[in-house]
Amino acid sequence: MPVPASTLSTITIKPYEGSYGFGAEVSGIDLNTMSPEQFKELERAIYIHRVVVVKGQKDLLPETQQRMGVLFDPETPANLGHMEAVRGLNTIFGAGVTERKPTMPGGHLVNLNGSGSFKAGHYGVPKDFVLTGLSSKGFHRDELSHEQVESGHVRFQRWHIDWPACVGSNPAPVTTIWAHTLPTGEDVTVHWEDGEGTCVRSRPGQTAFIDCFALYRSLSPEQRAWVDNSLVEYPPSPYQWLRGAKADGLGLRMYDEGNETPLEDLAEGEPLRCPMVWINPITGERALQVHAIIARKLHYRSSPTAAYRLIDDLAEVREMLDSLQRPFVKPDNVFFAPTEEGDLLCFHNRGVRHSAVEFPESRGPRLLHQLQLIASDEPWNPKRVVGQPYYKDEGFMPPSLAIAGTA
């Protein structure tokens, strides 16, 4: 959606130019001292442009970032919306985890993320700490060698939403990531591992995005009919269930090798069923938002009056979701957010999918402050964003959760 550059007070919003068609740079604002009007302009930019890089925030305080998280959803229960359920003990990404990461006084909900060793005193952290970044190693079935990565040949880690997909946990509307320290050096080559040599160049340590509203628009009428009316089901403790499974070289799909954790061995909990199409409350656009790597079942139908058909063959579920998404995840549609040290990256977590991009360890450490809070509403039936225009798609009715799985 092309949107012209705009200004309000001292804020400048400049859309990025590229085939991917989304993203904007924001400048002329101090987030520590911004006015309510400036915040609302920034918030609107995030919903319209999907991904926003706020430049020049080298003095951003953790308490400011935490306060912004609440402003994006004033009724949030103010709990972390992602990290422990995804990267904690006994999860697929929790190998070697023995203790929780330290927190920062004044911003205890802001997560320290990245890779490298850091000294005590970082915004009040009382002791030295080590961060282990996620990469293809240990998650992709066919790993790159250390030598390949060190020579600058890398992959997307995994395409995901910041959301543990557990009952009672609605995904944050906005994720914010502040770049304290970023790796340096030459661009890396990011490989698709598609057998055709597809690759692009990117700065080391960047985050990649796809626009899931554009993904929805790319679907055929037949595909839109079934994603509009079907439900996806995630297992209890999805990232514990996934432990033992391995991903493909694009980080988009898991291999069907039967290595998932048996349900009886998971922590107690209920599966989560939810619609596959989520709504932008400001523009009314529909996004295809499915956490494909942790999806376990589909409750399929192609019209609102049809009965649900349960699809519980995991290989079939994965193939159906892959056929929707893989054709869209190509270089022209991928945006590498050009974040520099001191910038705040803000993105509409309910409207984009993103992936970390691995980089050579020799390029230096990466230290980020990341925040996304459990939301107070459901993304397929979102509340009005306070102080913003509200667009309701009268032609879309989220499929009923109550009758799922009865057919």
Compute φ and ψ for 129, nearest 5 degrees: -145, 155
Please give the pLDDT value at position 84: 55
8 Å CB contact between 191 and 153: yes
Q: Which CATH number fits domain 6-371: 3.30.360.10, 3.40.47.10, 3.20.20.30, 3.60.130.10?
A: 3.60.130.10
Please give the pLDDT value at position 4: 46
pLDDT digits (tens, 9 = 90+) for 342-364: 999 999 999 999 999 999 999 99
Please give the pLDDT value at position 267: 80
8 Å CB contact between 407 and 307: yes
pLDDT digits (tens, 9 = 90+) for 204-252: 999 999 999 999 999 999 999 999 999 999 999 999 999 999 999 999 9
pLDDT digits (tens, 9 = 90+) for 298-327: 999 999 999 999 999 999 999 999 999 999
Q: Rounded mean pLDDT of the chain?
A: 92
Residue 199 structure tokens: 């690759």
CB burial of residue 405 (10 Å; 0-12, 13-18, 19+): middle
